[in-house]
């Protein structure tokens, strides 16, 4: 896939009386690693959730691979999240009742893959991400870094077009965070996967090809930021 894979135009979204997005525009190139930065409450996570089809904007359009995401039904968006997108969040994305390998296999199982085949595919990611021997552990038995790598494996197992990462290193110490980020970037580059990462850490943003900032619900580029200041 080349060219623009994901594009948002004039997104607006409010939570009750509080506006979170006020006409946000963004275009993401295929294979690009894009960092979205911004202060707390600026709307960066809300923008990511809209781009991923988790939230539906009040106004504006989102297009993914030529299809309107904002007008899709919930079931279609679920399907898209399962087959074309992957997610790595700060915490809370692993199902505690399942083992690590079952967590990785979950998107495949939800897609109707047979259990044995799904688990085999899941296990193939453990070695690549340095998780050997942790297949049978539950999320409570994993360290923060290990849990994030399992989440990364789960995000990659369907070979998605886009990975959405929301503060993926936010709950980790700097060394572990760096390791996770390196893995995310290298794996994405290896497979040509687009990555949209929300972060407030410049260290994480430095791994990206491009960086945008969200301020008061609108997207600005680093160049515009510098001009403004």
Partner 1 sequence: MISLGIRLALAGGREALARLVVIACAVAAGVGLLLGMLAAINGVHSQDNRYSWLNSAHSTDTPRSGVDPLWWRLSGDAYQGERIGRVDVAATGTNSPVPPGIPRLPAPGEYYASPALARLLADLPADQLADRYPGHLVGTIGSTALPGPDSLVIVVGRTPAEVKAADGSHEITSITTTPSTDCDDCPVGPKGSSVILILSVTAGALVFPVLILVGMATRLSAARREYRFAAMRLVGATPRQVSVIATAEAALAAAAGVAIGFAVFPPIRLALVRMDFTGTPFFLSDLSLNLWDVLLVVLGVPVAAAVAAGIALARVRVSPLGVARRVTPPPPRAWRLLPMLLGVAELAFFIGRRPNTSAGQSMAFTPGMVLILGGLVYAGPWLTMVGARLMVGRSNDPAVLIAGRRLADDPKAGFRSVGGLVLALCVTTGSVAIITAITAERGLPEIYTAGAGAAVDHTVLGSYLTGWGDDGRPTGAEKPLPASVTTQLRAIPGVAGVTVIHADPLGTPDPTEHQGPVGAARQGGLASCEQLAGTPLFHTCAAGAQTATTAADFDGFGVDIGSNWPRQWPTSSVPAAQLDGLPVLDVVVGTTGSAATVERVRTLLEGTYPDRAMAPWTLSEYRTQAQGQLSSFQRLANTVTLASLVVAGCSLAVGVAGGLSERRRPFSLLRLTGVQLGVLRRTVLLESAMPLLVVSGVAIGMGFLAAELFLKAQLGYSVRSPGAMYCVMVVGGLAASLGVITSTLPLLRRITGPEAARND
Are 220 and 213 a contacting pair, CB within 8 Å? yes
The yes or no reply on residue 75 touching partner 1 (CB under 8 A) is yes
Binding track over 9-48 against partner 1, x by CB under 8 A = ------x---------------------------------
Residue 33 or 55 having the CB closest to partner 1: 55
How many residues comprise the chain? 229
The yes or no reply on residue 227 touching partner 1 (CB under 8 A) is no
Shortest separation between residue 117's beta carbon and partner 1, angstroms: 14
Structure tokens at 114: 């047979």
Are 225 and 213 a contacting pair, CB within 8 Å? yes
Binding track over 108-147 against partner 1, x by CB under 8 A = -xxx---x--------------------------------
Instruction: Name residues whose C-beta falls within 8 Å of residue 223's C-beta, 6 or more positions apart in sequence.
Output: none
Q: Cα separation of 189 and 170, whole Å?
A: 22
Q: Cα separation of 125 and 206, whole Å?
A: 26
Q: What is the DSSP letter of 141?
A: G
The yes or no reply on residue 82 touching partner 1 (CB under 8 A) is yes
Which residues of this protein are in contact with partner 1, per CB under 8 A? 15, 49, 54-55, 74-75, 78-83, 85, 87, 89, 91-98, 106-107, 109-111, 115, 154
């Amino acid at each position: 896939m080349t060219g623009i894979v994901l594009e948002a135009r004039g997104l607006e979204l409010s939570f009750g009386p509080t506006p979170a997005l006020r006409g946000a525009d963004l275009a993401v190139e295929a294979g690009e690693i894009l960092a979205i930065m911004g202060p707390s409450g600026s709307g960066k996570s809300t923008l990511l959730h809209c781009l991923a089809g988790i939230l539906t904007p009040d106004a504006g359009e989102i297009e993914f691979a030529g299809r309107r995401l904002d007008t899709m039904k919930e079931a279609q968006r679920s399907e898209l999240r399962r087959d074309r997108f992957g997610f790595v969040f700060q915490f809370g994305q692993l199902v505690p009742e399942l083992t690590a390998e079952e967590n990785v296999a979950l998107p495949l199982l939800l897609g109707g893959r047979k259990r044995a085949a799904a688990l085999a595919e899941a296990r193939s990611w453990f070695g690549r991400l340095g998780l050997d021997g942790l297949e049978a552990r539950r999320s409570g038995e994993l360290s923060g870094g290990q849990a994030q790598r399992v989440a990364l494996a789960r995000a990659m197992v369907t070979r998605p077009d886009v990975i959405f990462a929301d503060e993926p290193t936010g709950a980790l110490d700097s060394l572990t965070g760096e390791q996770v980020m390196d893995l995310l970037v290298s794996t994405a580059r290896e497979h040509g996967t687009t990555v949209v990462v929300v972060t407030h850490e410049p260290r994480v943003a430095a791994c990206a090809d491009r960086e945008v900032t969200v301020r008061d619900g609108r997207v600005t580029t680093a160049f515009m930021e510098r001009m403004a200041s």
